[in-house]
Amino acid sequence: MERSSHPFATTPPREDVVRARWVDPVLVGEVRFRQFTRGDDGRLRHTAWRGLRADRDPSEVTAPQPGRPSPPTAAELPDIGSRVTVNAGGRTLTLSNLDKPLYPDGTTKSEVIAYYSRIAPVLLPHLRDRPVTFVRFPNGVHGQKFFQKNTDASAPGWLPTVSLRDGGSRRGADADEIVRYPLLHELAALVWAANLAALELHVPQWTVVDGARELPNRLVFDLDPGPGTTIVDCCRVAERLYEVLVADGLAPVATTSGSKGMQVYAGIETTNAQSPSAYAKAIAVAFERETPQQVTATMAKARREGKVFIDWSQNNAAKTTIAPYSLRGRDEPTVATPVTWAEVRDCRKLEQLVFTADEVLERADDLGDLFALVGQRRAPLPG
């Protein structure tokens, strides 16, 4: 069925088809989508492939008109069963319950898988060699969630893992438990995780090499808005952090958390695993001393009213933060999104720095990987 030229009446934009392989339009496939883009191009947003439709002839197909589509009736859906076999990056995976809504707005597991599949080129480099902790929502974001560190027996045999002494917040006999963490290095691994309804991916600021933990190569300030404050207030603190970090020779990058706050990262080199926490704490304490009405470096929640908490402790080797480009388990499919410093400085309303999955995919197409600087520009940690 392959052909050398496209089959469309109007030539599609060059940037959309640079890697396309054309075939004669003789098969019918079903694509679910949420809405059209604004403007004259009428692109589909939040798409998910649903399989071939052997019951339909190409002559029966008419193009949908712009506007939010009505949900198809059960009679219009192909009987594809509850389990579907797909190819992801050359690996065969079996997916299940693709039509299950995971978000109150109707976002299904298939749409979550579609998002992680499409964002993989910019997400995977920031997961590389970092043990991943999942936050799973098997019954959707309003159902029970649970954290998963250990890779269970159902994981595919090709999935790389690393066994590490937990060393987290556990106490007593479990403090030295050996945990077999998953490592997500390829598209198939992301699809496998998404099929588990692992909406959130959390990683530490260090990597592993040959099964051993390396020194941290990221510095992070986690900005958490207390009661009466929002991400707008976090942006004002982030601007101050930018000035301090640049003066110290670092290259800061800001991301939204996909929830209420944001993070400021920088790539670092250090010879001491405790140095990032000490450096971040010193800055947080200095900010609190300078502006005690706006900032707190104290973890006690009673001290956070009307203030932004600078959580410097996220640099502790036992802590993890939400990975850039990860979904969050909120009412909407929001994403931890890298942003420009111009966006941080211009932010005056909460909604300016809230991004959903489809918006992040568009940003990645337009802006590239804004988080890449963290890996590209690593500088010695001062002190």
- Percent of the chain exceeding pLDDT 70 equals 87
- Is 91 contained in some domain? no
Q: Same domain, yes or no, for 158 and 218?
A: yes
Alpha helices in the chain (DSSP H): 109-127, 187-195, 231-247, 275-290, 341-346, 357-367, 372-376
What's the CATH code of the domain at 317?
Answer: 3.90.920.10
Place of tokens 């004002």: 236
- Rounded (5°) CA angle 222-227-231: 45
Q: Same domain, yes or no, for 167 and 76?
A: no
- The length of the chain in residues reads 383
Better pLDDT: 222 or 42: 222
pLDDT for residue 334 is more than 50 = yes
The answer to whether 279 and 383 are in contact (CB under 8 A) is yes
Q: What is the pLDDT of residues 82-96, one digit of tens each?
A: 689 999 999 999 999
Q: Same domain, yes or no, for 61 and 172?
A: no
Last residue of a domain, one of 54, 80, 106: 80
The answer to whether 47 and 27 are in contact (CB under 8 A) is no
Pairing of strands 83-88, 91-96: antiparallel
The answer to whether 252 and 345 are in contact (CB under 8 A) is no
User: What span, in angstroms and rounded, lies between the C-alpha atoms of 284 and 295?
Assistant: 8
Q: Same domain, yes or no, for 150 and 51?
A: no
- Is 86 contained in some domain? no
What's the CATH code of the domain at 62?
Answer: 2.40.50.140
- Is 301 contained in some domain? yes
Better pLDDT: 7 or 327: 327
pLDDT attached to residue 22: 86
Pairing of strands 2-3, 253-256: unpaired
pLDDT attached to residue 284: 98
- Is 87 contained in some domain? no
Residues near 67 by Cβ (< 8 Å), separated by ≥ 6? Answer: 35, 36
**Count of structural domains, the chain:** 2
Q: Same domain, yes or no, for 224 and 329?
A: yes
Q: What is the pLDDT of residues 50-69, one digit of tens each?
A: 677 776 777 667 667 665 44
The answer to whether 152 and 82 are in contact (CB under 8 A) is no
Mean pLDDT for all residues in the chain: 89
pLDDT attached to residue 358: 95
- Is 90 contained in some domain? no
Better pLDDT: 360 or 35: 360
Q: What is the pLDDT of residues 13-34, one digit of tens each?
A: 777 777 788 888 888 887 877 6
pLDDT for residue 127 is more than 90 = yes
Residues near 28 by Cβ (< 8 Å), separated by ≥ 6? Answer: 52, 53, 54, 56, 57, 58, 60, 61
Last residue of a domain, one of 80, 99, 130: 80
Helix, strand and coil content of the chain, in percent to the nearest 5, comes to: 30, 25, 45
Q: Same domain, yes or no, for 157 and 73?
A: no
Provide the total of helices (H) and of strands (E) in the chain, helices listed first: 7, 23
Mean pLDDT of 245-270: 98
- Rounded (5°) CA angle 58-62-66: 145
Burial zone of 293 (CB within 10 Å; 0-12 exposed, 13-18 middle, 19+ buried): exposed
Identify the domain containing residue 54 by its residue range: 2-80
Residues near 322 by Cβ (< 8 Å), separated by ≥ 6? Answer: 200, 201, 202, 257, 258, 259, 263, 328, 336
Q: Same domain, yes or no, for 39 and 128?
A: no
Q: What is the pLDDT of residues 204-226, one digit of tens each?
A: 999 999 999 999 999 999 999 99
Q: Same domain, yes or no, for 254 and 368?
A: yes
Q: Same domain, yes or no, for 43 and 184?
A: no
Max CA pair span of the chain: 71
